[in-house]
Structure 1
Amino acid sequence: MAVHTKHPVSATPAAPVREKTGHLLLRAWCIFVLFMALAGTAWINAFGEAVTAVIVIAGGMLSIGLWIVMRPPVNGRRLPWFALAYAAWAVLSLLWSAWPAVSAWTLLLLLITTLQALFVGSVLTWGELVKAVASALKWVLGLSLVFELWVSLFIGAPILPGFVVAKASDPIEYWSRDNLFDGGRLQGIMGNANLLGPVALLAIVVFAIRYAARAPRRFMLILWIVFSAYLFLRASSATAYLAAVAVGVVLATVLLMRRARRPGERTKYYIAYAAVGAGGGLALVLFRDEIFTALGRSSDLTGRETIWAAVLERASQRPVAGWGFATPWVVADPAFDGWIIDHGQSVQQAHSMWIDAFLQLGAVGVTLLALAYLALIWRAWFFAIDRPRWDLRADRPYSPLSLLPTLVATILLVQGFSESGPLLLWGWMFLVMLGFKIKQAPHVGVGPVEQSFAIEQDLGAVRAPRPKRAP
């Protein structure tokens, strides 16, 4: 006769595992840190330099405090040494700087950005990092559209930084030009279309990666991709357009590399990749006027060649160590005030990160910067094309998250040709953060750095067994 037991075999019902409040707050802080870097000059345009400096310094101090309290697992031997060497050389430039006050203030920004990059990379896993970058980008792009909409609907005229409605001597001075409904270029909260374009391109890449990784609410990710593409086109940045082409070429090459099954099979893809790159460079040289005319730009890159000539002339006077760190140029200093005038304004950058680095830190600085990018590109490339493997198993699936570093490096390299943006704010932060993250966690979801969050949340991470005591 069957006997019914009162003790069911199934596990006792339990509430789903949820993130602790402390970790949610930590991730929210990392999103704010990333937002500060991605928003760039929006802080200065809205609140002024003094308030922005207070926010940046206070943010750095808070991250230091959190780092000391949390003590995340960090392998001290696996740091982005070339990027840190560039920062150290920049600090040393105080000894010979021709503008010591400018060097001191801009070095503070460089060091805080470097610290924040290391902090975010150490406390977030790869999945959380991509998710945090996506959240910060949503805020930047969303506020950019809201800002442009507010100017067009409620102000009805271009505005200057500080929410001042007045006539400017040149349109370059405007924070927003009230172009939302007239088809002109949008500048977003950054106040510069050439800054909005690369950020919108970065957003397309990040949202597409999250979609490929089957993140929740994929339909919303499609809408965010469409929205980012709209801002990308409305920014109408020639540099961003070229970066998008480069991203497409690199992505196609990575996906082809992943299809290789035998040793040496990737050689033909490398040859094709080099041929496409060489052909693109040759076409840019031979059909330069036609290409830039099609992009709505002059063949001299909208006056950049004149700026480059003036910067190189001064840089050649101190070719080894440079004149001293100054990223960005502080035009209030006599050394930069009135030195190079463009559209009636003193220029704040060399419009090329390599020429800018040569002016400030000489050939030594350019070499260290090139090595930092080479290290990131090398590791990011194999991080993207090599199948995850740390034991005898060789059939693990690729992670879409592994595409992020190599595509971001592509954007920064192309942008750095005609802009100095990669030397500060989100450009420098992503160089350090991704280089640090790849070295600390060379496999997505594997290793002590990646498992630290799972251990804290008791999500089934494997803990090392405790050694038995000797009898």
Structure 2
Amino acid sequence: MNALDRADIWRSAFPRLTFLPVLEATLAVLAILLFSQALLGPLLVDPLKPDAAEALRLVWLPVYGVTLVVIAMRPLALLETALRAWPLVLLAVLAGLSTFWSIDPDITSRRALALAMTTLFGLWLASRFDWKSLLTIIAISFAILMAGSAIAGALVPGFGVMQEIHPGAWRGLWWEKNTLGAMMGWAVLAFTGAAAFDPKRRMLWLALVIPALALVLLSTSRTALLASFIAIAGPGMIALARRDAASSAIAVMTGIMGVALGILVLIIGPGVLLEALGRDATLTGRTDIWEALFRQIGQRPLLGFGYGVFWQVETGPAHWVRLETNWPVPTAHNGWIETALATGLIGVGVAVIAYAGALGSAAMRLFKGNETYWALPFLVMWGLISFSESNLAEQNSLMWVMFTATAAKLAQPREAVP
């Protein structure tokens, strides 16, 4: 009798704790709320100096502790999921190894640990919950965030509405309006995804789309409006593709043409897209920053400068970027460039494998499986946003938690249809 057999006998003899699934789901919702950095972030952190708030840093310790506890309850399930989602694990490992060549090892080691715990939490979500439960947990979390943002904007406008920059634009529970818009764009998709799995509460989930869209409009974020359009049109196109052969051909061709057009715009003239989204095509539109960063990447092309450290060393390479652009640039505003700065082209290659694998798996499920209503639009939205926001392998980030959970679930065998 080996150790695994003994463990099974021990578990079968142990009294079953029927409240554990509810407790785990509750802990998952609470952790997702914390990873969203709603409310606590604006109260405790300067967005330009996220490492400066010791109080917020202490908040993550219990989150990490709870993550390790729930993983210890089902370690083999997480191990299996991690092996299937190996590119995500490799990204976290590479971030940790970058401590050895980082321009500031202390910052890199701290942030790499945070990334590892963020990734582990996403992997735990994928290993612990089926698609229906996972999307319900995500949707409930966004419903709470939506309600809190509506209350903040309506009843506490001094906090929930921007006063100096973009006066009148709602920011809800976050630092600024674009974050509220982005979160509510994801909320629209989360509610749609939960509705696909829950016929009894489908109308309730779909009804929540309306206030989420209202908050997107109140945020005045054009990027979030585009994301919300994808969150609604994506599931609609998937439903159309499943109707009959003619509808399927129309939906697939429309999707391919839309993606091809988006890639073409990003390659040939990203400034056109940025201006359409209401951003100057130079500094705030990011192209000047990217040109300066490409020159820095050329200094350390394979391994980068170390995870999470490029913008933190005032006298380091970021100094020359800020001097060249004449602007205190806080991030690369591009997930792929940020990854190249942190872990080099090797890290970018691993990230491409992770994203392409997840996107390919979601596309293969176009005609079967309710999870596609979430997974495919999510990955398209996430991929588009990655070209203008630093959302790839980001520590303590809800976006990375959701990406990890979604990609890891897609790496698992398909669930049996009830």
Q: Normalising TM by the smaller chain, what interval? A: 0.7 to 0.9
Other-structure match for 2:188: 204
Cα shift readout 1:256-293 (whole Å, capped 9, x = no counterpart): 4424569xx96776555333333455567889777655
For residue 240 of structure 1, what is the amino acid of its counterpart?
A
| Deviation of 1:370 (Å) | 0.7
Q: Offset of 1:43 from its aligned partner?
A: 2.9
| Structure 1 letter corresponding to 2:379 | A
1: CA distance, partners of 2:377 / 2:183: 13
Match of 1:404 among 358, 374, 388: 374
Partner of 1:324: 306
Q: Give the secondary structure class of the aligned counterpart of 2:61.
A: helix
The Cα shift of 1:72 comes to 6.6
1:277 equivalenced with 2:259 (yes/no): yes
Shift of the 150–321 alpha-carbon distance from structure 1 to 2, 3 Å rule, reads: same
One-letter code aligned to 2:187: A
1:402·1:444 contact (CA, 8 Å) conserved in 2?
A: no
Point out the structure with max Rg over C-alpha: 1
Match of 2:20 among 10, 22, 30: 22
Flag the 1:421–1:364 CA change in 2: closer, same or farther, 3 A: same
Is 1:354 paired with 2:336?
yes
> What residue number does 1:427 align with?
399
Question: What TM-score, normalized by structure 1, do the two folds share?
Answer: 0.73
RMSD of aligned alpha carbons: 3.4
**Is the deviation greater in 110-119 or in 244-253?**
244-253
User: TM-score, normalization: structure 2?
Assistant: 0.81
- SS of 1:45 mapped into structure 2: helix
Identify if the C-alpha distance between structure 1 residues 226 and 273 changes in structure 2 by more than 3 Å, giving closer, same or farther. closer
Q: CA deviation digits over 1:77-108, x for unaligned, max 9?
A: 75211111111111111111112122112112
* AA matched with 1:47: L
What is the deviation of 1:139? Answer: 1.8
Q: Secondary structure at the match of 1:67?
A: helix
Q: Please tell me the residue identity of whatever aligns with 1:432.
A: T
**What residue number does 1:459 align with?**
none
Is the Cα contact below 8 Å between 1:186 and 1:234 reproduced in 2?
yes
Q: 1:150 to 1:178 in 2, by over 3 A?
A: farther
Q: Does the C-alpha gap of structure 1 residues 22 and 57 become closer, same or farther in structure 2, counting only changes over 3 Å?
A: same
Report how many residues are paired.
Answer: 391
Which residue among 107, 114, 121 is the counterpart of 1:116? 121
Shift of residue 148, structure 1, vs aligned partner: 2.8
Counterpart AA for 1:108:
L
Output the CA distance in 2 between the equivalents of 1:198 and 1:26: 27
The CA distance in 2 between the partners of 1:250 and 1:219, in whole Å, is: 18
Structure-1 separation of matches of 2:279 and 2:144: 30
- Counterpart of 2:14 in structure 1 is none
Q: Say which is worse superposed, 243-252 or 402-411, in terms of deviation.
A: 243-252
Following the alignment from structure 1 to structure 2, what is the Cα–Cα distance between the partners of residues 39 and 247? 22
Q: Tell whether the 8 Å contact from 1:330 to 1:348 is kept in structure 2 after alignment.
A: yes
Per-residue Cα deviation, 1:192-219 (whole angstroms, up to 9, x for no partner): 2222222111111111233344454555
Contact residue 336 and residue 386 of structure 2 kept, 8 A = yes
- Measure the CA separation in 1 of the matches of 2:240 and 2:209: 24
**Contact kept in structure 1, 2:266 and 2:273, CA below 8 Å:** yes
Contact 1:242 1:414 in 2 (8 A): no
Gaps of 5+ in 1: 1-18, 160-174, 388-397, 447-471
Decide whether aligned partners of structure 1 residues 211 and 46 sit closer, same or farther in structure 2, where only a CA change above 3 A counts. same
* CA–CA separation in structure 1 for the residues paired with 2:350 and 2:144: 33
Selected match of 1:45 from 34, 42, 47:
42
CA contact (8 A) 1:321 1:364 kept: yes
Q: Write the distance in 1 (CA, Å) between the matches of 2:109 and 2:79.
A: 30
The residue aligned with 2:178 is 194
1:328-347 correspondence runs (5 A): 331=312, 334-335=315-316, 341=322, 346-347=328-329
* One-letter amino acid of the counterpart of residue 38, structure 1: S
Note the C-alpha offset of 1:324: 0.9
Residue identity (%) = 21
Describe the superposition over 1:412-460 as per-residue Cα deviations: whole angstroms up to 9, x where unpaired.
Answer: 11110100024321221122111222233522567xxxxxxxxxxxxxx
Counterpart check, 1:414 vs 2:384:
yes
